[in-house]
Chain A
Amino acid sequence: MYKIVNKSVERIDVYEKVTGKAKYGADLNCGSQLYAKTVYSRYPHAKILKIDTKEAEGLEGVIMVITAKDVPGNNIMFGKFPVLAQNEVKYIGDGVAVVAAESKEIAEKAAKLVRVEYEELPGVFDLEEAKVENSKRVHSEIENNFIEHSHHLLRSGDVEKGFKEAEVILERTYRTQFVDQAYIEPEAVIVLPDPYKIGVEIHGSIQNPYTIRENVATVLGLKINQVRVIQSTIGGSFGGKDESVMLMAARCAVIALKTGRPVKMVLTREESFLESSKRHPFQANYKIGAKKDGSIVAVENKVYVQGGAYNNKASFANWRASIHAAGPYTIPHIKTDIYGLYTHTIYGGAYRGFSAPQMVFATESLIDELAEELKMSPQEIRLKNCLKPGDEMGTGQILLPGKIPAPLEKMIREICRKTDFESKRKKYIQEREGFNPLKKGIGLSCTFRGAGLGGEGIDTASATVTIDIDGSILIQSGLVEMGQGMRTAHAQIVAEVLGVSLDRITFGNTDTAVTMDSGATVASRGILAGGNAMLIAATELLQRLHQQASIMLNCNIENLISENEFIFNKSKPDKKLTFEEVVKECLKGQGLSLSAQGWYNPGPEKLSPETGRGKAYPTYSYGTAVAELRVDVQTGKINVEKITAAYEIGKAINPQIAKSQFYGGILQGVGYAIMEEMRTKDGYLKTKNFDDFLIPSSADMPEMEVTIYESDDPVGPFGAKSVGELGIELIAPALANALYNATGKRIRELPLNLERVLLGKTLKK
């Protein structure tokens, strides 16, 4: 059995974090640094007539004010985000100028002295307006408001035929809201002019160093290798520290090169809310057909995704959505279309789960509605239709043990048994009519989630592992640690392969000058892709060590075993070499390299452009949850009492960290379900800080019980696959279903706030 993997060892970065020694982006300072502050747009959509920076420049301590015309290279970055808006502002978070000053206070003062003249223009503020043909356009260079490359489809079977066979057909629309990731640390960046060559070095709370490096290089008109990005310790990101940090890095880099001085920018919470990405709002229109016995024959959907003014994520998020839009069910006929749309509003990006929480809210509410229509229990209908071994998925992939597992049936049965789901559900229906306004409800949901990027992009990752003369081991991943525990899992993988203790291992923060471009740290790929890269690097080093040990022990290399800090011949286990001994001989005796780069490349996934079918993901993770709540039917107040959840993740590299990820995801899911909402009105952001953007407090935390299922899934290192995002997506539908169980009222729009629960409709402020 494993010595280190699959054990709940202590995190390798925990000491620095809990003792306050780890430096976060805002903690970093350089001598002679400038403080930069962005001047934001005053209108959601307007023409910029004139920017007068004279007064700001005249303030003592102000070194420079830049506008779009000061950008030396390309002002437009990936997703059409301008470093600074040039002729037109397209949303309320657009930057029009940046001031750089000797102090933060002066920068703040100067930002208010930049005079901008606007001509206000009408805008497109929601999905309904954006969809209309010949409506106003957000980007004049395209024909309508549909985001380029954001239409993704799946065609399986023949839905027309399917609906003809159906004995029951339901049509429903579900809607979700903008929400912020609400990480504890607002974005921070410090950019240093490279002291040795033309270029910049960027430090900060950066989730995706490589995309930022590439974008800043084009902004500066430099080669990629003239920009170096080093991540600081990150205080939470959940997908969010990407576009906003890219904008900050680009703005600061322009000033750093112009002034030759380091430039620091730290966002306030208000600025972070204004400028950072949000979870995309969805409008999901569904049609589902089933036989009277509950078997689903067809699903057709058209899903519209609000992208905001600029967007570089809808094309990816929508592809993921297209694969998952019919749920974890075996359905012969599927027709899915997902579209992204531009609006003059805050924009959608990545947030834990990406497009899954929206899709799973829709599909898992829908399946409960179908069960109700057919007078079946939510458990029964899921058991009947869920993906089972031997089944063909909508993508055409076949589920087989040892290949792609299909554990849902067992998981659903067990969670329902454990929570006493059926008898509680019946009891609560009877209690609906009772006198007590506090009603109880129980709800079920289940999901499947493609592991890693799959067909969304090439899922390559790198790892560098170096053993030094004292036997210490430095690991550095091209993927970032942002609190999820990835680097501990990586260290466990390396220690397991090399047969050494974890004490030997330390980590380097991701540095684009050290590790190969590993893409973005997204899609729960930290272990699947990043861990595989570590496994490859460590295996390569083990080979080199064993090569040397086989000479030292005079035995065949195949007979060698590394375990508990020793390397020995398994048929002569008495004579053991210490790990250090072999390392020393390799480095000093023979002059061998003990640094290896692991490169994981699963190869491109090929999908049919006409049908969207093919090997979408190498494998899938699964989950199921039961939510129990109490709702006051006279006020609409929901108290979430308990969430019981189960997740199949192949193998848990660190069961405790995996569970912590699920607890965190569940609680974020509760917030998403019942209280969180970034409100916009006519393009203005109404939710400015945490007094209005409510996230759950400890007093709102339900009891949580999480079970991890393991399987023989072969794809990831030691059979591990995805963990990080799976926790969040089951919660909103489980709660909406529980609310229905308690009240008999179906709410199809998130969040399930006081007004919606009481009145069954949305009140607009």
Chain B
Amino acid sequence: MAKLNTNSNVYTIIYASVMVVVVAFLLAFVSSSLKKKQDANVAIDKKTQILAALNVRGIAKSEVEAQYAAHIDTTCVLTADGQVIEGADAFDVETKEIGEKFPIYMAKTADGQNALVLPVKGRGLWGGLWGYIAVTPDMQTVLGAYFNHESETAGLGALIKEEPFQAQFAGRPVFGEDGKVALTVVKKGSSENASQVDGVTGATLTSKGTGEMVHDGLQAYVDVLTKAQSACGRHEGCPRQHEGCGRHEGCEGHEGCPRQQEGCPEAAAHKCQSGSECCQSGNCDKSGSCGKPGCDGDKACCGNE
């Protein structure tokens, strides 16, 4: 057999085509056969990150599922205009969707405090950043934080992934004196108030990106939750909505809910109209006074018989 001319055009083109097809099939096969295992790893990794924000750190891979179940109570997903997406699990919202959807985890920290875990995303020097911030249910104070990155510089920007940087966030107030979100990251040593966290030395742009992510991310959640509360308020007599999503304090459903107002001594008390007396129980009746127990606001029993 004559020796194949490996320099001919036909041979070169066929060789290139065959090589590309073979490699493509090989990669597709490897990728699809390992996908299930990889997805499981990714899910466990995400749960580990959420738990780290709740200060549950350093747990073995095999315990992650159990710890996650123990610390996360419920989750929900809000749209940008404050509507709850029915049946959606916050865990299924991917990082790239944050900003269109607002996933919220209602959880408990390592020492048993109630917390909301809010996922945020941003941009660092080389690539994307993301993080989970645990705040108190009234969103006033940070309880813990976790940050991670795609490709920040090892030893510099990558330090935002380490516990010493993240531990600085616990206990910081979220809001400044003007009532807006003030929590951010500043150059080390130039912090002016408790809401400004020290950045990483030598990683100015990563620190700046992290600060923007935290600040803008939390502000977006505050805006969405404000919308969610006013959306609920449009319903007849709806109370202050639970921080988080759709869970109302002391009332089922919307119709006939008591309207809780500030100025009543106890959490359960409410006023039916501005300036009226504080009701201890029952819903408001049609005339805007306190109804009898069991009154749902629409029925005749709500008259003062």
- A and B bind: no
Residues of B near any A CB (own CB < 8 A): none
Residues of A near any B CB (own CB < 8 A): none
